[in-house]
């Protein structure tokens, strides 16, 4: 007779993903009664955690109508879900853990189920809880229904080396040969380098049906240009209106925020493709929650949005300085040459970020207030997405309305959330799931352009 499997779910698993209730087909799922007590603590929060908590409670209430949660309710996937009590478990060996701690009581209850003959798998996002579970003899595992191996991260580009003479051709023959062995995803880039000189390169984007198109710098009447091939790839996606979803992944200093804001400003202010720029980033509560900070919403968000302000100031300064310099040079020209210059496009100046906010052209918002909205005709920029769960990213992407474009950016090597890692954060998972979709493109930026010190810090520390 085969031993029945019982997956005992910790509180953090349900707060991370309410669908975890139904993630184990043809098996029993156990929810310790102490987990329901913990859910009761968080249900009033206005955060994503609070929403997930209420969603779990609603689903359990719906299952209650099917039968007794104490005895076990049949699920549509062939499994059974039940609430675990000490009275069900019977006598078992005393736990070596102090039971006044609620996490230890959850572990002890799972251990008691194992003494009843179940093959218990204790599922938790808490690393220390997994360690303690192993100590008392339980099989412990992370909740990994949506993970992406670090080895298979979709970078959005591949490198191909060819003889330098081929770079003078339309599409290098070496790239076509490489494509016979490698399966390109839609909108994936090929960085074609000279075999003897990596600084001699061309970039191509795969557009399907064995076709590649050369990538060139978008026409921007501003004194900025990409500093490396990955930045060129990013700008190609950001300026392409047919690409509605872009993810930029990479360490600090690679230019993610700068490139996105540059494209957003040009698309909204110069090309007028979008009515507004919406910028948001997660407020990871390492200190006081945003609701307890003084001032209105913009004042509360200012410190969290400081990287946005810094990059906006840099862009507007560079553009406005170039405009003033061009005007200064034009003043010294003879009259007949001034008339010729008027026919040429001038560098348009960019208002300051506060002026754009006051005019309603830029909106800085907290992710908390994104739920339930439909956002049409906007350029949406979500920063620091590595601190969001796949469920939270799904919620954000589903907010995108008609005529909008959404950009996710972040560094999966720097995660502040205690229950996320490189393999399970929303940025990496979403990029992997959307790979190959015609409206999606992704680029991993690997070269720091901030400073030599910044590059060395990322490398050495």
56: number of Cβ within 10 Å? 26
Any idea which residue has 């500093």 for tokens?
Answer: 227
Beta-bridge partners for 80: 28, 74
Q: Read off the tokens for 254.
A: 């690679």
Distance in angstroms (rounded) separating the CA atoms of residues 276 and 387: 25
The pLDDT score that the predictor gives to residue 91 is: 60
CA–chain centroid gap for 155, Å, is 14
What does the pLDDT average to over 243-253?
93
DSSP, collapsed to helix, strand or coil, labels residue 119 as strand
pLDDT tens profile 317-343: 777 776 555 555 555 555 555 455 444
For the domain 5-141, what is the CATH code? 3.40.50.1010
DSSP letters along 69-98, please? TTT-EE-TTS-EEEEE-HHHH---PPPSS-
Structural domain boundaries in the chain = 5-141, 233-329+345-460
Tell me the backbone φ, ψ of residue 247, rounded to 5 degrees: -120, 130
Give the residue carrying structure tokens 């076990």: 72
Q: What is the dihedral of CA 320, 321, 327, 332, to 10 degrees?
A: 180
Q: 396 near 421, Cβ under 8 Å? A: no
| Phi and psi, residue 193, nearest 5° | -110, 150
Q: What is this structure's pTM?
A: 0.77
Q: Which of 43-52, 149-158, 265-274, 300-309 has the lowest mean pLDDT?
A: 300-309
Residues 195-233: tens digit of each pLDDT: 989 899 999 999 999 999 999 999 887 878 899 999 999
Q: In terms of CATH architecture, what is 233-329+345-460? A: 3-Layer(aba) Sandwich (3.40)
- Any idea which residue has 């194992």 for tokens? 114
Between 33 and 147, whose confidence is greater? 33
Same CATH topology for 5-141 and 233-329+345-460: the answer is yes
Helical residues (DSSP H) of 293-447, grouped into ranges: 297-301, 306-331, 335-342, 353-358, 390-397, 426-433
* Rounded Cα distance, 62 and 305, in Å: 40
Are the beta carbons of 363 and 338 closer than 8 angstroms?
Answer: no
Partners of residue 191 on adjacent β-strands: 159, 203
Share of the chain above pLDDT 90, in %: 49
Among the ranges given (264-273, 280-289, 441-450), the one the predictor scored with the smallest mean pLDDT? 280-289
Instruction: Supply φ then ψ for residue 28, to 5 degrees.
Output: -90, 140
Mean pLDDT of 379-407: 91
Residues 160-204: tens digit of each pLDDT: 999 999 998 889 999 999 999 999 999 999 999 999 898 999 999
Compute the distance between CA of residue 273 and CA of residue 277 in angstroms, rounded to an integer. Answer: 11
Mean pLDDT computed over 35-61: 89
Q: How many CB atoms lie within 10 A of CB 180?
A: 8
Mean pLDDT of 302-324: 76
SS3 261: helix
Sign of CA dihedral 123, 124, 128, 129: negative
Q: Where are the beta strands (DSSP E) in 228-323?
A: 245-249, 276-281
């Amino acid at each position: 007779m085969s031993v029945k499997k019982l997956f005992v779910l910790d509180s953090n698993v349900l707060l991370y993903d309410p669908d975890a209730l139904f993630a184990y087909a043809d098996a029993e799922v156990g929810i310790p009664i102490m987990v329901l007590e913990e859910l009761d603590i968080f249900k009033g929060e206005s955060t994503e955690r609070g929403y997930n908590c209420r969603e779990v409670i609603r689903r359990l209430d719906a299952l209650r109508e099917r039968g007794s949660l104490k005895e076990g309710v049949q699920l549509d996937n062939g499994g059974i879900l039940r609430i675990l009590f000490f009275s069900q478990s019977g006598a078992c060996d005393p736990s070596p853990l102090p039971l006044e701690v609620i996490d230890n009581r959850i572990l002890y209850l799972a251990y008691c189920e194992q003494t009843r003959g179940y093959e218990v798998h204790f599922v938790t996002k808490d690393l220390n809880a997994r360690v303690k579970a192993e100590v008392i003899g339980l099989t412990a595992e992370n909740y990994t229904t949506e993970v992406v191996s670090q080895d298979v991260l979709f970078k959005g580009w591949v490198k191909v080396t060819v003889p330098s003479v081929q770079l003078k051709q339309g599409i290098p023959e070496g790239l076509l040969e490489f494509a016979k062995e490698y399966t390109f995803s839609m909108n994936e880039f090929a960085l074609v380098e000279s075999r003897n000189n990596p600084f001699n390169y061309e970039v191509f984007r795969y557009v399907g049906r064995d076709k590649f198109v050369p990538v060139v710098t978008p026409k921007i009447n501003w004194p900025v240009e990409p500093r490396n091939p990955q930045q060129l790839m990013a700008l190609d996606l950001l300026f392409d209106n047919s690409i509605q979803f872009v993810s930029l992944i990479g360490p600090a200093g690679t230019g993610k925020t700068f490139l996105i804001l540059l494209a957003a400003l040009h698309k909204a202010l110069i090309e007028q493709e979008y009515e507004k720029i919406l910028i948001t980033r997660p407020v990871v509560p390492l200190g006081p929650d945003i609701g307890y900070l003084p001032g209105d919403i913009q004042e509360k968000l200012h410190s969290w949005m400081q990287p946005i302000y810094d990059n906006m100031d840099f862009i507007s300064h560079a553009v406005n300085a170039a405009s003033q310099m061009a005007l200064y040079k034009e003043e010294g020209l003879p009259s007949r040459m001034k008339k010729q210059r008027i026919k040429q496009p001038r560098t348009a100046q960019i208002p300051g970020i506060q002026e754009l906010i006051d005019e309603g052209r830029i909106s800085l918002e907290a992710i908390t207030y994104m739920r339930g909205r439909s956002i049409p005709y906007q350029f949406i920029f979500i920063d620091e997405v590595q601190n969001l769960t796949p469920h939270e990213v799904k919620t954000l992407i589903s907010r995108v309305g008609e005529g909008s474009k959404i950009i996710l950016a972040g560094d999966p090597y720097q995660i502040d959330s205690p229950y996320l890692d490189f393999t399970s954060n929303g940025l990496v998972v979403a990029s992997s799931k959307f790979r190959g979709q015609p409206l999606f493109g992704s680029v991993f930026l690997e070269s720091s352009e901030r400073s030599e010190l910044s590059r060395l810090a990322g490398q050495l520390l």
